[in-house]
Structure 1
Amino acid sequence: MTAAWWILPVAYLLDRLLGDPRWLPHPVIGMGKAISAIEAAVRRLFKPGGYRAAGLLLPLLVAGGSFVLTWATLLLLAQVSPWLAAAAEAALIWTTIAAKGLRDAGMEVCGHLRRNDLPAARRSLGMIVGRDTDALAQPEIVRGTVETVAENIVDAVVSPLFYALIGGAPLAMAYRAINTLDSMVGYKNDKYINLGWASARLDDIANFIPARLTALMLVAASWCIRLDARGALRIVRRDASSHPSPNSGYPESAVAGALGIRLGGHNSYHGVMSFRAYMGDNNREMEAEDIPRTARLMFLVSSSFVVLATIVWILFSI
């Protein structure tokens, strides 16, 4: 990692301004193709009884390969110009962050709700969640959107910034590969219970510290914008561990407490009902404006993290 203090702020500003432009090739697309190819090869070369051991190959090859490839690329660029390497590092870290895309996806749903266009809101929500959305009422549409934005404050923003701070673009890319692996093969179903176990476990480990750090920052952000900071802290302490994910409950419970709403409940996945533990108190019915409130919390947390990370970077570079 180069020692330029401006790398993280520039990467974050690029995401805030540009998001993920469709014209720009995104590393996650390459990671997805690599994962699919390796999975196909493993299923050809191994018998089902060997899938659990073979599951170790996916994070080793994809996450490890992402780290080495990024490191080698920056090393070669540094031979040409340290400034070129620093600029490339900022651009690569930019691709691991998705704050703008997360906000835009949530606000698209909110815009439809403000126009009372429930069918369009359901379709937009269906693009960002795995649950069935065709018959959801407005409060449930809001719930799904708030839960998705809250959960992804960790996956799409704080975690990649956290690992960029520790290990620059190579480690941020490795984290993005781990997260992509989890989204593609980290399922506890018959197809992936053995092949994807290592990817899912590694994602849990990678997000352990960032999730808890995010919850604390959400409490502070709630106080800054005059939401219920005490409620956020109380609900985190009470409900975070009830979530089926060891990490997702922390940002979701903090947001629920800050907004004074209850997240969780019954969801339908391909027609099969599932219950997720409640997060927060059912003080009021959820409304469309809870979506931009969650987005503001996300932006305040991410901006604060970048400022703090930049200070840390400067101190350790002296």
Structure 2
Amino acid sequence: MNHLADHTAVVLAAVALDLLLGDPRRLPHPVVGMGRMINFLERVLRRVFGNLRVAGMVLLVVTVGVSYGAAALLLYVAGHVSPAAGFAAGVYLAWVSLAARSLHLESAKVAKALARGDLPGARLALSYIVGRETADLDEQEIVRGAVETVAENTGDGVIAPLFYLMLGGPALAIAYKAVNTLDSMVGYKNERYLEFGWASARFDDVANYVPARLTALLMVLAAPIWALSGGDAWRIMRRDGRNHSSPNSGYPEAAAAGALGVRLGGANRYFGRIVEKPTIGDPVRPLTLAAYSGVVRLMYASELILVAAWCVAMVFG
């Protein structure tokens, strides 16, 4: 096979493995290594640099550079062992960069608990996938949290790594995962990370700028497949896409809200403090488990539309 065919085969194999098996938890995972590296570097860099913003910039450069370099080295070495080994290494790195199945499985724990009337269990399951406090949430607020996190993470957990995988291969997808992992670990606007995590948070915003908007457009296209409203998805995306503290997350959330006919956003509690967020969407329908099922379907359809469009482009481009 030529390079283009190899690249296409790697992407398709990785997507298939993710959809069928989810995250390969029993195998060595690059994100685990990234997390350990970030923790180690944070301790060192805080001691070495007096300026925390500079320390955070060094953290960003080293973490992303090492992650990309290690992935590229693995691909190089495996490719020189044999074409099959190179292909396997590429598929593995691409597979671990995708998270559609895992996002579905983790969020489904919330839905299953709600379906059996277990509010405490649903609150606990939700607490593992959102940053807000969940202990006092009612059923609609629990569903809102699940819908919001699936919509947002369709962008940075599914479409964004797939976008970078298609654009630059497995090493670039791993570099994106490093950026995303940095943001999730140090990109907080609190006293500890406001300066130290500034560079990671800003670079994550840059890296997700195109993928977030692409995700929203894919959701608009995906909505009619499930008898949802593509027109309302487009309208709400344009109207409410900026109604979010993140410059990116509001776009997929708004497209999903419009397609589902629900209202997202509103009050959340963080560390004992109520934070009022702008609302996204119109409350045409109540926030029920049907909304959760709908956003999961939007996630899968958006991913498959992107894969199909890319394959067509590879064949005829």
What is the TM-score of this pair, normalised by structure 1? 0.96
Please report how far the alpha carbon of residue 311 of structure 1 lies from its aligned counterpart in structure 2 after TM superposition: 3.1
1:160-239 equivalent positions in 2, closer than 5 A: 160-239=161-240
Tell me the secondary structure at the aligned position of residue 32 of structure 1: helix
1:211, 1:33 → 2: CA distance? 27
CA displacement at 1:87 relative to structure 2: 1.9
Per chain length, whose mean CA-contact separation is higher, i.e. which structure has more relative contact order (CA < 8 Å, sep 6+)?
1
What RMSD in Å do the two structures reach over aligned CA positions?
1.3
Superposed, 1:1-318 pairs within 5 Å as: 2-3=3-4, 4=6, 5-47=8-50, 50-315=51-316
Which piece of structure 1 moves more, 141-150 or 285-294?
Answer: 285-294
Q: Any unmatched runs of 5+ in structure 2?
A: none
Distance 1:313 1:71 in 2: 23
User: 8 Å contact 2:46–2:55 — kept in the other structure?
Assistant: no
- Superposed CA offset, 1:173-200 (max 9, x none): 0000000000011112221111111111
What is the CA deviation profile of residues 97-146 of structure 1, one whole-angstrom value per residue up to 9, with x for unaligned ones?
A: 01001111222111111111111111110111111111110000000000
What are structure 1's unaligned runs of at least 5 residues?
A: none
Deviations 1:261-292 (A, max 9, x none): 00000000121110111000122321112111
- 1:55, 1:196 within 8 Å by CA — same for their partners in 2? yes
Quick one: which amino acid aligns to residue 10 of structure 2? I
Structure 1 residues 295 and 66: alpha-carbon distance in aligned structure 2, compared to 1, 3 A threshold? same
Distance across 1 between alignment mates of 2:311 and 2:172:
17
Give the letter for the 1:41 counterpart: V
Letter in 2 for 1:258: A
Identity of aligned residues (%): 46
TM-score (ref. length: structure 2): 0.96
Which whole-Å CA distance do the structure 2 matches of 1:94 and 1:312 have between them? 21
CA deviation map 1:197-253 (0-9, x unaligned) = 111111000000011111111001002211011111110010011211000000000
The one-letter code sitting in structure 1 at the alignment partner of 2:238 is: R
